[in-house]
Amino acid sequence: MQSPLPVRDGVNATRLRLPEGGPWDTAMDYMMHRWGHIDPQGIEDRFDAGEIVGEGGIPLSRHTRLEDHTFIWYYRTLPPETRLPVEINILHQDGHLLVVDKPHFLPTTPGGTYIQESALVRLRNQLELPDLIPMHRLDRMTAGVLLFSTNPQTRGKYQVLFEKRQVQKEYECVSAAEPAPGYPAVEFPVVVRNRMTKSRSYLLAEVIDGEPNAETRIERLETFDGGPAAGADGAGQRLARYRLEPHTGKTHQLRVHMASLGLGIVNDAFYPDLLDKAPDNYAKPLQLLARGIRFVDPVYGRPVEYRSSLELSEAAPVRP
């Protein structure tokens, strides 16, 4: 359902579904029930200013009956945010697509404590493109190639490509060169298949019994000696760079599949072990990068490929 309110400061208006009935006479009564303990005066002021609207953009008043509207829209009061010390690099832009290198630590879309500090909102404001919409997502801790639609008229053509899995993605990661103790040796390339599930109420994705719904091809590209940061005792360890080709797109799929081989990705705070929550350490990003993406462009009718210009900080040093 399209919002009757335009994007403001790069952020979409919030949609709220009103209940069909209850102990509330008006839409404002219900909003007071939900959020009156936080900012009751602010809610009243928004109704008085006509900033809360229903279907068709009709402004609601303090006395609008609850049953008059099913959905209402309004702009949230955004908390102040400290700008993250990372930048977005634009790789390609035309009348239909925007392709960027998303840095580590920046979420793709607004959520939780990150609203203005998301790739979507930053780019909407920077490029004055309020209709910008991501075609897929990268985890906050994953860097690399990220596609956005800039044109609502052609957006569906690109969405179909992702829905039909006609987009090939390539990732790189840095992990240990050999599996952790207790895990069997791996002969590369290897394809990992299993069934994964992810609950909204739990941080981690889990592997469960059942028909596989997640598949990744993993290839070891090179091995090298890691720097002091690579080993817990400061002595370093033997590391490797891997190419990951996911054939499905489950949440945390690549991190779970690498950990399942005893090859947890360097600086992963979730897999194989969930570490205590700590402030972001910008010197130790997750060593996972969306290296490239390719598909047949549905507007221009030709194959295209976009490659990240970023490098993983723990990857093998460039040789002279």
For residue 167, pLDDT beyond 50: yes
Cβ(273)–Cβ(262) below 8 Å: no
Residue 261 — pLDDT band, cuts 50, 70, 90?
A: very high
Q: Are 175 and 240 in contact (CB under 8 A)?
A: yes
What's the chain's average pLDDT?
Answer: 93
Share of the chain above pLDDT 70, in %: 96
Quick one: pLDDT at residue 208?
92
Is the pLDDT at 304 greater than 70? The verdict is yes
- Are the beta carbons of 209 and 197 closer than 8 angstroms? no
Q: Looking at mean pLDDT, say which of 36-45, 194-203, 221-230 comes out highest.
A: 36-45
**CA 96, CA 93: separation in Å to the nearest integer?**
8
- Distance separating alpha carbons of residues 108 and 56, to the nearest angstrom: 30
Tokens of 62: 């303090």
Q: How confident is the model at residue 228 (pLDDT cuts 50, 70, 90)?
A: low
Average pLDDT over residues 17-40: 93
Q: How far apart are CA 248 and CA 113, in angstroms?
A: 29
- Maximal CA-CA distance, the chain: 74
SS3 string of the chain? CCCCCCCECCECCEEEECCCCCCCCEHHHHHHHHHCCCCHHHHHHHHHCCCCECHHHCECCCCCEHHHCCEEEECCCCCCCCCCCCCCEEEEECCCEEEEEECCCCCCCCECCECCCCHHHHHHHHHCCCCCEECCCCCCCCEEEEEEECCCCCHHHHHHHHHCCCCEEEEEEEEECCCCCCCCCCCCCEEEEEEEEECCCCCCEEEECCCCCEEEEEEEEEEEECCHHHCCCCCCCEEEEEEEEECCCCCCHHHHHHHHCCCCECCCCCCCCCCCCCCCCCCCCCCEEEEEEEEECCCCCCEEEEECCCCCCCCCCCCC
pLDDT at 234: 36
The percent of residues in the chain predicted with pLDDT above 90, rounded, is 87
Provide the terminal-to-terminal Cα distance of the chain, rounded to the nearest Å.
Answer: 56
List the structure tokens of 310: 């970023």
Query: Which residues sit opposite 175 in a β-bridge?
Result: 240, 265
Q: What is the pLDDT of residue 227?
A: 67
